[in-house]
Structure formats: C-alpha cells, structure tokens
Amino acid sequence: MAAAPIDRRLAALEERYDARVGVSLLDTGDGAAYSYRGDQRFGFASSVKVLVAAELLRRTGSAERAELVRWTQDDVDAAGYSPVTEAHVDRGLPLLRLAEAAVRESDNTATNLVLERLDGPAGLTRGLLGRGDTTTVLADDEPGLNEVSPGSPANTTTPDAFVADLRALLGPEWLTDADRRLLLGWMSGNPGGDPLIRAGAPAGWRVAQKSGGAGPVRNDVAVLTPPDGRAPVLLAVLTTRLDPSAPYDDALVADAAEVALGALEAS
C-alpha cells in the first residue's frame, strides 16, 4: 500500500471535519499494513468493551458464566445508558448475557458488572498487559471511562495497539475457537455499527465491529471478512473533533474507513 496518497486523503478529512483521525489496518493474510497517527493516543470510549468481554471469556468457564448477577436501579442510574440491564433490575441476568449486552448493546451497567469480575478497570489493564498490550489503560468504569485528560494515558489507547489486540483475539492464546466465534457473533449484525466502518467497507464484506462515542470522540474497531475467502482484515478508526464541545460525526469514521479499505483493495 502506498502510504502517501492515503495520508493526504486522511489529512483532508481531518481538515474537512476539524478533527484528528487515527487509522490502523492489517491484512492478516498477506501482512499488508497501514497506519496514520497509529501511535497517537485517543480516547477509546465504548469500543473498549470488546476487550472487556474478551477478557471475561478468557477467565471464566461455563459454570461462572451461568451465574445469576443482580444489581439495583441505583447502579443503572449511576452508569447511564443501560437498555438491557434497566429492563432486568428485578430479576437479574446470567454473567454471559451481561458480557453480550456490553458488546452488542453497549450497555454501561453490564460493562461495570463484568468489570467487577475482572477486579475492576485495573484488572482489565493487567489482563491486557498479559496479552502484550502495554499501551491501553482503562482507569475507570462507566461512565468515567469516556473521560480523557490531556497528557494522561488514562482511558486511552492507540489505533496500532487496538489492531494488535484484535490480532491477538484471532489467535489461540487469548480465546478458544468457540469463544472467538461467540465474541465475533456479538460484534456482528448490530445496527448501531451500520453508519461507521460497515458503511465504508466494500460491498459484500462482513463486518464484526464495536463502536464507541462520547462528546467529540467517535470510534469503531472491526474484524472484516472479504467475500472471496481471503483472511480477515483488521481496522481501527479512532477520531476526535478538535473542538471539545463539538459533537462526534459518524460520517468521519465511515469516510476514513472507505479511504483505508479502498487503498487496500487497490493495492
């Protein structure tokens, strides 16, 4: 892949949207890779929930996953957006369903309950270190994990680090084949991802993704499967508007994904 033309197109998107864009791409078949601001830190927002769920799957067996977990309305009120757990305050849900809700519906209370099983945000960060990720730092649960302070690594990652995590998820060291299929299933078919990487992907590509967004931050990370039997392509698109009061823009993520994936197809 010729990096310079892609760099120019992404820089033009940054100017157009008044934003900073980070892109990391890896073709797991032939090793083709591309990175734009790939080593720069961005807030991960809810995209980190795919790593939360993956670490829970790694650490638990079927008996623990089936345990009924309970919570209160106060937990829901404190966490914010919780469409699944809000509807089950009176009866609870199995731990595995909470992990699914964290990924598929981006449920904040479910995420916090899963994090409790991982010894909190610091427990996840330690788990990621064990998988070779020395970059990603989860410092808070929901809703605090959306808060990023200039100069602090807390609640941030880099596009390159996230793609490396996605690569690790596809290997045998992190998940079993069954758990990998389960996680990718949770990441697939979620209409909330339709305007993001899925919108910028070539026709016919399957996209398993996890988005994140808060304030000026809008992200999407994905495992993409081409229709011709080729190996998966991994993509992280992390964006933040330069004006912290500006709302995020789904179209920026889709446009950046289209640039990167189009260049891969043309190479």
The catalytic residue positions are 46
In terms of Cβ atoms closer than 10 Å to its own Cβ (0-12, 13-18, 19+), residue 15 is exposed
- What does residue 219 show for φ and ψ, rounded to 5 degrees? -135, 160
Half-sphere exposure of 154 (CA within 13 A, CB side): 13
